[in-house]
Amino acid sequence: MAEPIKELYILWTSEGLSCDGDTVSVTAAMQPTIEEVVLGIIPGLPKIKLFNKVLAYENADEFMAPFWKAKAGTLDAPFVLVVEGSIPNENVKHGGFWTGMASDPVTKQPIPINTWLDWLAPKAVAVIAVGTCATYGGIHGMAGNPTGAMGVADYLGWDFKSAAGLPIINIPGCPVHPDNFMETLTWLLRQVAGLNPIIPLDQELRPTWLFGKTIHEGCDRAGYYEQADFAENYNSPKCQVKVGCWGPVVNCNVTKRGWMNGIGGCPNVGGICIGCTMPGFPDRFMPFMDEPPGATVSATMLQPYGALIRRLRSMTNDTVNHEPKWRHNGPALTTGYNPHYPDALPVFAQLTGGNSHD
């Protein structure tokens, strides 16, 4: 990117196989809010023009205009393409189309989302896949689905590069965590403005600082896990691994971040982690609410250690819950104080009215 970008379109399509849940989720973002970015309140960011059908106030033609201009290469500023929803395989249908956006002006036929990706992705400054459907296929990509649904990288290729030479940026979650999306977008906007280095991504194209740790590592209930103190049902504050939590092996940060404005975060508030940010979601985590296979082994191995540690900690906890016995209002000092300067004692006794140590 030679010159910093001063103005930028965000063209956001949720016309993949989607429920629009990621857009709805992002409206709850706080760090920063979508309003702060769009209204230009954050210093240094390019001026943003956002086109998202759920948030749009334009009519259909006005809304589609920048998409058509982006296809024609006549948009007056560069654009970031945000894709929400999984991409169907249009090669496997017997007729019609799986999902599309707008109609062909000549044939009046709907234009598959795949065609829009073919047109726009290579011209975009960056392509962001938002939510687990767009990143890896998600629920639409489950075993047995008829659409051949896949993620954006499965469709465009995992080595795809945007017009600015950037890989696809995957921000998974079902739905995406609002602040995870806005924080990544802000990083990218600062990057194209020449203020940030290139976003660090892992091999699944996720921002490393957001997905580098497991849910378990940040969980409010991890202390219970370590002591092998497991919930028997969902009405418990204890570790939920035996009632279906996959947190120990899932890359996600919501236990540390909370969900909205720091509050919530699945296991923190009683929801088992079902691995919704993961490329293997949902099939590799089903059936939900059963004890995960690895958890049986680790929980069993923890039992003797956990029982011993709980007992020892209970004893120590009892000790530290009592004040030392020398704190009293008796006639003598019983702290065991040992003066290193006995010559100073008479002076001290004078000052304290004769109340020296024994």
Half-sphere exposure at residue 326, Cβ-oriented, CA atoms within 13 angstroms: 8
DSSP line for 281-326: TTGGGPSTTSPPHHHHHHHHHHHHHHHHHHHHHHHHHHHHTS--TT
Judged by beta carbon, residue 111 or residue 228, the one nearer ligand SF4 is: 228
Cβ atoms 79, 8 nearer than 8 A: yes
Q: How far is the CB of 107 from ligand SF4 (least distance, A)?
A: 41
Q: How far is the CB of 169 from ligand SF4 (least distance, A)?
A: 18
Distance CA 7, CA 355 (A): 78
Q: How far is the CB of 185 from ligand SF4 (least distance, A)?
A: 19
Judged by beta carbon, residue 263 or residue 320, the one nearer ligand SF4 is: 263
Judged by beta carbon, residue 77 or residue 260, the one nearer ligand SF4 is: 260
Contact set with ligand SF4 (CB under 6 A): 173, 215-216, 219, 221-222, 225, 239-241, 245, 247-248, 250, 252, 254, 266-267, 273-277
Distance CA 80, CA 184 (A): 13
Give the 3-state secondary structure percentages of the chain, helix then strand then coil, rounded to 5: 35, 15, 50
How far from chain centre, in Å, is Cα 162? 24
Q: How far is the CB of 80 from ligand SF4 (least distance, A)?
A: 24
In which residue are the tokens 């940060």 written?
A: 253
Instruction: Name which of 290, 178, 310, 297 is nearest 240 in CA terms.
Output: 290
Tell me the CA distances in angstroms from 195 to 42, 44, 128, 199, 282, one per residue in order.
13, 8, 19, 12, 37
Which residue has the closest beta carbon to ligand SF4? 247
Judged by beta carbon, residue 301 or residue 345, the one nearer ligand SF4 is: 301
Judged by beta carbon, residue 128 or residue 250, the one nearer ligand SF4 is: 250
Distance CA 146, CA 144 (A): 6
**Residue 23, burial from CB neighbour count under 10 angstroms (0-12, 13-18, 19+):** buried
Q: How far is the CB of 229 from ligand SF4 (least distance, A)?
A: 10
Judged by beta carbon, residue 53 or residue 256, the one nearer ligand SF4 is: 256
Q: How far is the CB of 256 from ligand SF4 (least distance, A)?
A: 10
Judged by beta carbon, residue 66 or residue 172, the one nearer ligand SF4 is: 172
Q: How far is the CB of 217 from ligand SF4 (least distance, A)?
A: 8
